[in-house]
Amino acid sequence: MSDLEVSDETVADPDPVNEPAAVRVASRKELYPPIEPNVTGYLKVSDLHSLYWEESGNPQGKPVLFLHGGPGGGTSPGCRCFFCPDTYRIILFDQRGSGKSIPHASIEENTTWDLVSDIEKLREHLKVDKWQVFGGSWGSTLALAYAETHPDKVKCLVLRGVFLLRKKEVAWFYQEGASAVFADVWEDFRDFIPEEERHDLVSAYHRRLTNDKDEQLQLEAARHWTKWEMATNHLMPSLESRKRGESDDFALAFASIENHYFVNRGFFESDGWLLKNVDKIRNIPGIIVQGRYDMVCPFMSAWELHKSWPESQLWVIPNAGHSANEVGISEGLVQATEYFKDLH
């Protein structure tokens, strides 16, 4: 399948053979206007966890499931705006410990496979047969894990900022890669940890984030962890992103749950498990939207996924980093959902 650089400029004299259909059918690029949910609720998925969920858009429309990032990031009202509200039945939920789900920031009974099971419980609860699954960053990891486990329940995939949760990807962002580009903010993240523990920063942060005897230390660790990601997820600095990271409630859930997953290697049986099982989604249409200068989830992962899954379309955004809120990324995601509007 063709790879595409999507920008805010019109593609001149496109090749009608190689040009992805989305460019032809989706003249609309901006996000849809904000909307309110039609219905909200809580789904009890275990003795401990209850998940916040909501529906917006067309109750009789094509069901699409939005999977947020992190893990631990939670959803926000803007997540509804990637989808045509006249076409789509837009379903959002906060994963275990995240957002409005309870208990807040809990890492107990919180694994990838718990979340895959939760998605199935939500699908059954909402009486959905098959749905489009849309996920970015960690949301792309979870989308792939779910699709490879339940391929018969997934109509199509829209992925952004691909993260396969391999050892080298975690090391890139938390140990040895992105620090070369963001050396100034990296020092604050690194120097919170004593020098003798810096050979494994993820584990060092884990010890502090799980120290129930020192809540102030937990919170300080959460702030430093979250500040690092909020400072690096846009090509151009984002004040809005940094402000979100300054919320202690957000930082505690985001850092604690994210770190918990990374220490445990995503709870996958082996490194690269998602690529090893890509044959299971061979017949599922997919679009990958990837910022060329993504420092959080670098291009290598999207490229390796696309090579393993050549049936997918890979759209490279030349003037963007990681965040779905960057103009080029959001335009590409809207084009992707427009492309799948007519999929039966």
Q: What is the pLDDT of residues 304-320, one digit of tens each?
A: 999 999 999 999 999 99
Global pTM reads 0.92
| pLDDT at residue number 237 | 77
- The residue among 265, 294, 311 that closes a domain is 265
Has residue 244 got a pLDDT over 90? no
Q: Which residues are catalytic?
A: 137, 294, 322
Is the backbone peptide bond immediately before 103 cis, with ω within 30 degrees of 0?
yes
**Shared-domain flag, residues 143 and 185:** no
Per-residue pLDDT tens for 110-125?
999 999 999 999 999 9
How many domains, the chain? 2
- The residue among 248, 265, 282 that closes a domain is 265
The more confidently predicted of residues 22 and 224 is 224
**Shared-domain flag, residues 34 and 124:** yes
- Compute φ and ψ for 256, nearest 5 degrees: -65, -45
**Shared-domain flag, residues 50 and 28:** yes
**Shared-domain flag, residues 160 and 176:** no
- The residue among 265, 300, 334 that closes a domain is 265
**Shared-domain flag, residues 136 and 278:** yes
| For range 159-180, the mean pLDDT | 96
Per-residue pLDDT tens for 188-235?
999 999 999 999 999 999 999 999 999 999 999 999 999 999 999 999
- For residue 106, CA distances in Å to 35, 49, 174 come to 30, 9, 22
Mean per-residue pLDDT of the chain: 92
- Residues 6+ away with beta carbon under 8 Å from 99: 52, 68, 73, 74, 75, 253
CATH number of the domain residue 115 falls in = 3.40.50.1820
| For range 263-277, the mean pLDDT | 98
- Domain hosting 128: range is 3-166+268-342
**Shared-domain flag, residues 179 and 254:** yes
